[in-house]
Structure 1
Amino acid sequence: MMRCCGLLSVNKEPVPLKAIEVQVEVKDHVATVVSTLHYENKEDKAIEAVFVFPLPADAAVCHFSAKIGQTEIVADVKEKQEAREEYDDALSSGQQAFLLEESEQSPDIFSLSVGSLPPGESASIRLDYVTELAVEADGGLRFCLPVVLNPRYQPRGSEDRGVQVMSVPASQVPYSLTFAARLSSPRQVSKVDSACPLEPLQYVNKEQTQAVVQLAAGHAFDRDIELLIYYKDAHQPVVVVEAGKASAEPGTLMGDAAVMLSVYPEFSQAVMSSLATRGEFVFLLDRSGSMQGARIGSARDTLLLLLKSLPMGCYFNIYSFGSSFEHIFPKSMEYSEKTLENALKIVKEMQANLGGTEILRPLEHIYSQPCIPNQPRQLFLFTDGEVGNTKDVTSLVKKNSSTHRCFSFGIGEGASTALINGLAKEGGGHAQFIAGTDRMQAKVMQSLQFALQPAVEDISVTWDLPKGVSVTPLSPPLTAIFQGQRSLIYAQLTGQSSEETDGCVTVKYSLAGHPFQNKLAFAFHPTEDTGLTIHRLGARTLIRCLESKEPEKDEEVKKKVVNVSVQSGVSSSFTSFIAINKGSSKPIQGPLLQRRVPGIRSIMPMACCGK
């Protein structure tokens, strides 16, 4: 991996990014993030600054704008090729232009191009997104601002479709970061924990339902910024209806009301205790070079804890991979004191010495092995997620989800949220992120508990709405439900009712032959002042659902993705945000120089080197 050096680009030119400001507003389990990036060109020539940075894979990027002096330019969402052509045309005519794109291969990587920044000119770029907060094993809600972006490994023989990522030591990152979060909930904010240094939590009201927290000065850029937010009696089923955009056409996604259903299934203790503890557990451990140091140690510790916790009589095998792959048994063996002792001895000696990150080949081998009758196969994958073929890997997991559930563990800082969450979602399992030893045992035991729970079957969602109102699902059908774990469902509500009546939604499912249902009534009065958060999260969910249908091979699906993205103003792999300062048409003297900003092993925003 090439490394840039210090505070200058490889051409010894000043880095144009000066500071990043991040403001977060958390309402219950949804966060709105506003990032402002400040640039200044101190060179004597016009430059194009290019940055590559991570975002949560399920984030809905919904606003992008640039401010030069007193002039603010708000970007539009357009089809990607059209946006690129407009960007190139603007630069060639001497106009300032700004382009924001999501990676086509991995939805948690974005690139930002700041074009035609004249000598001495400053610019501020604002990027907004909304995201759901994951529920941790101890009931806390996890907000993570990705700061670390790891270089993505491209498998042998694959086309290099990803962005190039280079890095410098964290101590030499040439820009500052400030971070503050405002929390609000109908319930009391109990506490906020973080591995990053924080200023003391400050309550805004006497009920302690609103609070503010800030990152302490001097963040070292060596870890993601993670907040664990705890509310009193937080996890309750709820339905929220949000009014559509007043200026949008009725009958469209943004013009109609949108609804978000949050369900927390609870199975009776009698049912849970009667479930058989059986299964075939296949563990797949990343031993590629990027796992060296603390990561391989963390992965080993996680795997050892899982192995010691398996029920007697189940079956298991352990695979490890890099450029090649290995397995400790020719086939899955029955779990006993003897086989466990053998496995523990081998795992303790495992090192990150197998080269590149080739996940597809061991997965294909595992899927080709016959399943053991009456022993449902559970796949546990441990990786830092440094791959460039994320969509290929998650597609393979999806194709085999009827016979294999997948539980994924992101190891270390900067683990790809697109890969880790995508594996669990497409594999009907659950995702965990382990950056250190904190909360490891709780996370491991939660995933094992979920894996021992039989797959929930016959899941259905039915809506009872006022006359004249119809529902269009935005979320794919639920395929996995776990004890006490939140499930979110989005839908579009079309039409209006003259009656003053409530709506109702019922989620039914069965576990080991026992029927269950969650029934929620809700007032059909849309909330007006919400910033269209639910609409954007619903649009993002629909876009991801459509993208999973391989729109590259189906032009109609691709058109629908573009249409939803443009209409909602939410990014997709086929669209880009484009902003052009049409009042800045001064001819550029000489060639436009490109500057790619260095970050840590890698960070937000990230980069490469100048031309």
Structure 2
Amino acid sequence: KMVNCGLLTVKNEPVPLKSIEVELQVQGHVATVSSTLQYTNEEQSPLEALFVFPLPAESALCHFSAKIGDQETVAKVQEKEKAKDEYDDAIASGQQAFLLEESDESEDVFKLSVGSLPPGQSAAVTFIYVTELSVQADHSLRFCLPAVLNPRYSPPGTKLPQITERQIIPYSLSFTATVSSPNPIAKVESKCALEPLVFNTDRTNAKVSLSAGHKFDRDVELYLYYENAHQPTAIVEAGVPTAKPGTLMGDPVVMLSLYPEFPEAIMSSMSTCGEFVFVMDRSGSMGCAMHNGPGAKMRIESARDTLVLLLKSLPMGCYFNIYSFGSHYKSLFPKSVEYTEETMDQAVKRVKEMQSDMGGTEILEPLRNIYSQQCIPNHPRQVFIFTDGEVGNTKDVLQLVRNNADHHRCFSFGIGEGASTALIKGMAQEGRGHNQFITGSDRMQPKVMQSLRYALQPAVIDITEVWSVPAGMSTTHLSPPLNVLFHGQRALIYAQLKGEVRGTITVKYQLAGQEVTNTLNYSLKPAENSGLSIHRLAARSLIRSLERQEQTEGAEKEALKARVVELSVEAGVSCSHTAFIAVHKGSGEAVEGPMLKRRVMPMAMACAAPPMGKLMQIFTSFVNVGVMMNIFFLKKKKYIYIGIRLKLLYPHVPVDMLPPDVVEDHLLELISLQKASGCWEMGNALVKVFGKPEDEVVKQTPAQVSGGVWATILALIWLHGFKMDDQVEWQFVAMKAVTWIQNQKVANLSECVQAGNSLLGCQVKEEALGL
């Protein structure tokens, strides 16, 4: 069922948000985002509305204003309870008021209360936030403007509103972006249609906007590519001239960008030990589609395929376990077991049976059980968590991960648009791991295999910073300690500078037993009139660190809270203890009439399957116009996919509408047939992947070669010959296969490779196979 939402009329018709205008300004690795939302109260009564929207977890909300008619009121940051009292007093006296606050349960969800709008009145609200841009696998920086806020599952006892339907709001979107960088901008890409880019002469500035007619039916994502991506940078930003020297906003702040480059020799080295714990979300929302386009798999289907791929890719000698969770949880084994042919087969069988049938999203209890298990000596624990991120107790989850960070690394995966950035990024950050978001038509497998590579590779550790400054100058660290960086990760480090702004920063770290040193000189005139984005992100970093301490400290809790509120008010950025409050006095006359309360949600799509009755109406109409149908029913746990082959009056123009998963994925089929040791066995299922009759494949077996060796060599040739574009997905199974073949001491290996190429119609060289 589709449910209307927004500012609703008494007839349940949406007349909420009229338009959104977004301006994005990017400076290197950070961005400032300004959004203006235009409302009109078309009801016959005064209106109070609640607008709930997501922001990136690493962002800092730093401005909020409201314009009613021609008069604009700029909000101020206050301690949260004081702000709420002022809002309530304003509403009670008939004034227009706006209250913007962070959700108590998750730092990436904000609530905007729009109070007492008279009938026919319009209001425009503007909020500005600054955010760090995340680095992608191809070295690009990603900006995302979310179109979807998923309904969050709240465990019993939490106060986050339960929202059981996804809802649609019709409004227009205007989006423009201006990008500047010390290094030249190579290109800007997006999954949405863009107007042509406009560059300056040296390509250090670019401007781009969305093409006209964008419907905001998906996240707006920009990918920024800079030249010399691994070059460390230090950017100094001047403080506020009117602020008191010695305060955070009064002094210059430096932002250090560290993005280590990993040599190829380190990239190719892999560990064979570890305890791998896979935690799979099987809540009802995992039954939604991965995206809104045609051919979309269910989230649980894609997660199942990915987990099979992970299981096949693990190294012999490691340990593993699988947890499923929803309203409750269960584990495949009582504790992690050694990775063998028997345990792998058992796990693959169970994974293929997984459905999204476990209710809500209780992630705390399975994590508590995992952390209660004794660690296995010489096998570092690596936890892989797959979820669509719909929980209401994010802060409790992050606290648990943080408390156990010394005993594990956490790799988190947000599945589908709307996954909580606070939860997904927070678990990885607190667990010294890495996060990935799988949105739109992204395939999950490449991103997950990239994280497995991180888990098996050396990481940057023992990171230290040495600040060399002249006499009379000092630095104050504003960022939490940096423990580990994986390949492809970048860190932004903030520090407050007191005194003369010059000196050097030397960053040292260990990588695969080798010490690496980077030294940066900064003798720069601080940038002025920059919007203070670096100051505000530095304040946000320090506030988050203090908030984490606050959750663990006892006697110091009130003092920490007071310091957090002080920093939040000084820097003008939001936090868990403050809110933005704006009161518009207007004419001073009370607004007459009872107040209506309405909830406004950002655009989101319903994920329920269409009712069978509606499909049968469609079928009947086809029959009535003389259409002949062959109906293919593919029964799945809760869904019935119906494929229709229509033969119209013109038989030479057939129309095929087969379900997407009828088309076989030969790559995943091949991988699922591999043994834990790395070999394949000859059989009908394998030769079906090759597209050859089994008797022909067996007949071509070279002399004195076993069926297993022949099958494994053919599988390797097939992967290199037909699936090179997907190498990131099968690289680990191929490495296992090569090791297995080498252990067989095959005498006529070159002959086997030549025969395999001839059979499969490929030209893969022996050295390309790694043999």
Fold in common (TM above 0.5): yes
The reply on whether 1:189 has 2:189 as its aligned counterpart is no
- Counterpart CA distance in 2 for 1:7 and 1:463 is 54
Q: Deviations over 1:149-202 (max 9, x none)?
A: 01111113x232x245465543xx23222222222223333333333x312432
SS of residue in 2 equivalent to 1:346: helix
Instruction: Specify whether residues 401 and 141 from structure 1 end up closer, same or farther in structure 2 by C-alpha distance, changes over 3 A only.
Output: same
Any conservation in 1 of the 2:463–2:482 contact (CA below 8 Å)? Answer: yes
- Counterpart CA distance in 2 for 1:569 and 1:415 is 27
Match for 1:386 among 367, 377, 390? 390
The reply on whether 1:586 has 2:589 as its aligned counterpart is yes
The reply on whether 1:21 has 2:16 as its aligned counterpart is no
Moved more, 186-195 or 553-562: 186-195
**Residues 211-610 of structure 1 aligned to structure 2 (within 5 Å):** 211-270=206-265, 276-293=271-288, 294-438=298-442, 440-454=444-458, 456-496=460-500, 502-551=502-551, 554-601=557-604
- Counterpart CA distance in 2 for 1:469 and 1:408 is 41
Shift of 1:436: 4.5
Shift of 1:524: 4.1
Q: Which residue of 2 aligns with 1:51?
A: 51
Q: Deviations over 1:86-108 (max 9, x none)?
A: 11111222222111011121011
Q: Which residue of 1 aligns with 2:158?
A: 159
SS of residue in 1 equivalent to 2:448: helix
Q: Deviations over 1:431-480 (max 9, x none)?
A: 10011453644422331122123565433222111221111111011122
Q: Which residue of 2 aligns with 1:609?
A: none
Match for 2:172 among 163, 171, 176? 176
SS of residue in 2 equivalent to 1:317: strand
- Counterpart CA distance in 2 for 1:225 and 1:272 is 32
Shift of 1:407: 0.6
Any conservation in 2 of the 1:150–1:602 contact (CA below 8 Å)? Answer: no
Moved more, 114-123 or 561-570: 114-123
Residue type of the alignment partner of 2:558: E
Residue type of the alignment partner of 1:485: Q
Instruction: Specify whether residues 504 and 6 from structure 1 end up closer, same or farther in structure 2 by C-alpha distance, changes over 3 A only.
Output: closer
SS of residue in 2 equivalent to 1:559: helix
**Residues 201-216 of structure 1 aligned to structure 2 (within 5 Å):** 201-216=196-211
Shift of 1:223: 2.5
Q: Deviations over 1:244-266 (max 9, x none)?
A: 01111111000000010111223
Residue type of the alignment partner of 1:46: P
Residue type of the alignment partner of 2:310: L
Any conservation in 2 of the 1:4–1:10 contact (CA below 8 Å)? Answer: no
SS of residue in 1 equivalent to 2:426: helix
- Counterpart CA distance in 1 for 2:314 and 2:197 is 43
Any conservation in 1 of the 2:137–2:488 contact (CA below 8 Å)? Answer: no
SS of residue in 1 equivalent to 2:285: helix
SS of residue in 1 equivalent to 2:405: coil
Residue type of the alignment partner of 2:242: S
Moved more, 214-223 or 296-305: 214-223
Going by fraction, where is helix more abundant, 1 or 2?
2
Moved more, 577-586 or 284-293: 577-586
SS of residue in 2 equivalent to 1:239: strand
Any conservation in 1 of the 2:148–2:218 contact (CA below 8 Å)? Answer: yes
Q: Which residue of 1 aligns with 2:614?
A: none
Q: Which residue of 2 aligns with 1:608?
A: none
Instruction: Specify whether residues 8 and 591 from structure 1 end up closer, same or farther in structure 2 by C-alpha distance, changes over 3 A only.
Output: closer
Residue type of the alignment partner of 2:158: E
Residue type of the alignment partner of 2:172: S
Residue type of the alignment partner of 1:159: T
- Counterpart CA distance in 2 for 1:523 and 1:505 is 11
Instruction: Specify whether residues 165 and 566 from structure 1 end up closer, same or farther in structure 2 by C-alpha distance, changes over 3 A only.
Output: farther
- Counterpart CA distance in 2 for 1:113 and 1:168 is 20
SS of residue in 2 equivalent to 1:548: helix
Moved more, 36-45 or 329-338: 329-338
Shift of 1:337: 4.1
SS of residue in 2 equivalent to 1:304: helix
Q: Which residue of 2 aligns with 1:79?
A: 79
CA RMSD of aligned residues (A): 2.3
- Counterpart CA distance in 2 for 1:324 and 1:264 is 40
Q: Deviations over 1:544-594 (max 9, x none)?
A: 111112359611111111001000000001100011123441112122222
Any conservation in 1 of the 2:303–2:444 contact (CA below 8 Å)? Answer: no
How many residues align structurally? 594
- Counterpart CA distance in 2 for 1:491 and 1:400 is 28
Instruction: Specify whether residues 118 and 529 from structure 1 end up closer, same or farther in structure 2 by C-alpha distance, changes over 3 A only.
Output: same
- Counterpart CA distance in 1 for 2:523 and 2:253 is 13
Q: Deviations over 1:277-303 (max 9, x none)?
A: 321111001000011032212322332
Shift of 1:234: 2.7
Q: Which residue of 1 aligns with 2:112?
A: 112
Going by fraction, where is strand more abundant, 1 or 2?
1
SS of residue in 2 equivalent to 1:23: strand
Any conservation in 1 of the 2:277–2:383 contact (CA below 8 Å)? Answer: yes
Any conservation in 1 of the 2:361–2:390 contact (CA below 8 Å)? Answer: yes
Moved more, 284-293 or 220-229: 220-229
Gaps of 5+ in 2: 289-297, 607-771
Runs of 4+ with >6 A deviation: none
Shift of 1:12: 2.6
Instruction: Specify whether residues 445 and 456 from structure 1 end up closer, same or farther in structure 2 by C-alpha distance, changes over 3 A only.
Output: same
Q: Deviations over 1:293-347 (max 9, x none)?
A: 3221232233233333322222211111111212223332222444333323322
Any conservation in 1 of the 2:6–2:599 contact (CA below 8 Å)? Answer: no
Shift of 1:599: 4.5
TM-score, with structure 2 as normaliser: 0.73
Moved more, 257-266 or 433-442: 433-442
Q: Which residue of 2 aligns with 1:89?
A: 89
Q: Deviations over 1:334-367 (max 9, x none)?
A: 2244433332332222111111101011111111
Shift of 1:225: 1.6
Q: Which residue of 2 aligns with 1:606?
A: none
Q: Deviations over 1:470-508 (max 9, x none)?
A: 1111101112222342111111112237xxxx4111222
